[in-house]
Every structure is written in structure tokens, then in C-alpha cells.
Amino acid sequence: MGRKKKTEITAAESNDIDFPFPAFPWKLVYKDGNDTRKCYFQTEAHRDKHIERHKLKKNQIKLSYKYDIPEIE
């Protein structure tokens, strides 16, 4: 009995892992003491409200959005 082979994760599956809740496309990750907090939001406004409430600075946070945002030229 050997070890199980690692399966490769596709980009779509990776996105599903990163964003486990379909209705919450905004993600915020930050350190709170020794803990890493992962927060999911329905809207950008909810995310911004959380950032303000906890007085988080730009260098403390990592923001993600589930869907690609087209660049405007």
C-alpha cells in the first residue's frame, strides 16, 4: 500500500477552493494577532465597511475578487 498520488488542481477548481461560497465573490485576508482571517463578502461596500470597522491598513490586507474584471483602456 503506497501513498496516494497527488491530483492536479485545475484553475477552476482552485477558484472554487479559494471562494467556497458562490454568493460571496469578494475575499479579504488579513492577520489578526497570530490568526489569519479569511472573510467573504457579497459586495465591495460590505468589504470596505469591514476594513473601516477594523481599521485595517493597505499593507495588512490582501483583496481578491472571484471573477475577472475587464481592463478599461
Residue 2 lies in a domain: no
Task: Note down the domain range covering 40.
Answer: 22-65
Residue 11 lies in a domain: no
Mean pLDDT of the chain: 82
Residue 54 lies in a domain: yes
In the chain, how many domains are there? 1
Residue 10 lies in a domain: no
Asked whether 63 and 17 are in contact (CB, 8 A), the reply is: no
Cell numbers that stand for 4 in this block? 496516494
What span, in angstroms and rounded, lies between the C-alpha atoms of 36 and 58?
A: 16
User: Which residues lie closer than 8 Å to 36 by C-beta, 6 or more apart?
Assistant: 29, 30
Checking if the pLDDT of 11 tops 60, the result is no
Reported as a single tens digit per residue, the pLDDT across 37-49 is 999 999 999 999 9
Residue 44 lies in a domain: yes
